[in-house]
């Protein structure tokens, strides 16, 4: 014989409906113990809940509604709040301009300058940006970037003194002070074919120096001796519209380069001028993901670039490629009558940074992010 427990009758199950509670939310212990998990029980449970809400008074419903609104607001506020132990990457990338030195390399010790002061919160910010990118697109191909952000402190502290990028180091990239022209052959050849175009626009700009000491659009940089001027078309990933309008053909040329870094804070394009007797202090660039390209416009004798202890000379109409995350300096030891050393400088992607990594790095290091 099989014993079958008696199920409460339909009338018994619905009995609580006839005894409304102050807020309709309390059910008798006896009903809960007797209620089965059958489909009928689920249906009756839903019916009970509906009836309970009907029996609630307006004051109780208003209180519940207020609590729900407060809970939703709290979730929204917490969800949109960002970690506080960092400043924006764009602010961190600024140089010593707060002390009156623009684009210089005098260490300012400002808490907002990542070239001068390392921030514990920067890696947290970068990892947050990487996660946001991966959610929108994919984690595929992000291994090196993830590894670099996760172990950034170890990489930067353990690098030999000859190469110490000050902001971001991407691991497993080939390391060398200078690169051959074939590293970015298309862009090198394109720049060299347009040498005369860039030179003519520079000469038009440079005529303004005869009228004032520092014409509009030019910046003076800090140097131990001499004078170093720059005219930016792109500065830390941001176009400088007024300057670009004064060099329209050069600016259009940038759009034809395949590997120009134009969408993140590591990308720059400018005309760089060293007067005779100028020495640029030895310094490191912010990252190893780029190659800095110098197209010689005016290259007097006794001018040198030294990267990682290796000297090189510029040549007019020729490109010189180097990794500025190595310790580097430049100087012009020519006579005053030799005139200035002038190069057109543009930042190109390191050839071993994959397309997916470039897209992610543009997102992670977007200006203002």
Half-sphere exposure (Cβ direction) of 38: Cα atoms closer than 13 Å: 10
Which whole number is the average pLDDT over 33-61? Answer: 61
Which whole number is the average pLDDT over 155-165? Answer: 82
What is the band of 122 on the pLDDT scale with cuts at 50, 70, 90? confident
| pLDDT for position 138 | 92
- The residues spanned by each domain of the chain are 181-354
Q: Single out the residue of 149, 151, 114 nearest to residue 130, CA to CA.
A: 149
Share of the chain above pLDDT 70, in %: 70
Is the pTM value of this prediction over 0.75? no
| pLDDT for position 62 | 76
Helix then strand then coil, % of the chain, to nearest 5: 40, 20, 40
Which whole number is the average pLDDT over 247-252? Answer: 96
| pLDDT for position 200 | 97
Q: Please, what CATH class does the domain formed by 181-354 belong to?
A: mainly beta
| pLDDT for position 94 | 42
Query: Could you tell me where the beta strands, DSSP code E, fall in the chain?
Result: 178-179, 218-221, 228-235, 238-239, 269-274, 278-279, 290-298, 303-307, 310-312, 319-322, 328-332, 341-349
pLDDT over 50 (residue 204): yes
pLDDT digits (tens, 9 = 90+) for 186-196: 999 999 999 99
What is the band of 30 on the pLDDT scale with cuts at 50, 70, 90? low
């Amino acid at each position: 014989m099989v014993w079958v427990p008696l199920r409460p009758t339909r009338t018994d199950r619905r009995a609580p409906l006839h005894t409304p509670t102050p807020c309709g939310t309390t059910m008798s212990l006896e009903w809960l113990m007797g209620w089965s998990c059958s489909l009928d029980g689920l249906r009756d449970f839903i019916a009970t809940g509906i009836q309970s809400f009907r029996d609630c008074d307006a004051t109780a419903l208003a209180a519940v509604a207020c609590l729900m609104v407060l809970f939703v607001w709290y979730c929204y506020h917490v969800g949109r709040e960002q970690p506080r132990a960092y400043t924006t990457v764009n602010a961190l990338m600024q140089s010593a301009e707060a002390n009156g030195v623009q684009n210089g390399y005098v260490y300012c010790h400002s808490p907002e300058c990542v070239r001068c002061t390392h921030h514990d919160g920067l890696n947290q910010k970068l990892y947050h940006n990487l996660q946001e990118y991966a959610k929108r697109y994919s984690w595929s191909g992000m291994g090196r970037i993830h590894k670099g952000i996760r172990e950034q402190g170890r990489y930067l502290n353990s690098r030999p003194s000859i190469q110490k990028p000050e902001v971001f180091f991407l691991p497993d990239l080939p390391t060398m002070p200078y690169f051959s022209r074939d590293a970015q052959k298309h862009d090198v050849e394109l720049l060299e074919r347009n040498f005369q175009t860039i030179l003519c626009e520079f000469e038009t700009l440079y005529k303004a120096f005869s009228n004032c000491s520092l014409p509009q659009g030019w910046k003076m940089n800090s140097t131990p001796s001499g004078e170093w001027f720059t005219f930016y078309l792109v500065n830390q990933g941001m176009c400088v519209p007024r300057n670009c309008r004064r060099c329209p053909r050069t600016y259009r040329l940038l759009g034809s380069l395949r590997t120009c870094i134009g969408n993140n804070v590591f990308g720059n394009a400018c005309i760089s001028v060293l007067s005779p007797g100028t020495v640029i202090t030895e310094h490191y660039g912010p990252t190893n993901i780029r190659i800095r390209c110098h197209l010689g416009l005016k290259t007097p004798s006794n001018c040198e670039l030294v990267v990682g202890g290796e000297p090189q000379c510029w040549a007019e109409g020729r490109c010189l490629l180097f990794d500025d995350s190595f310790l580097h300096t430049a100087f012009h030891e020519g006579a005053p009558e030799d005139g200035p050393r002038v190069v057109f400088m543009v930042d190109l992607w390191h050839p071993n940074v994959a397309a997916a990594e470039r897209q992610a790095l543009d997102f992670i290091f977007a200006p203002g992010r």
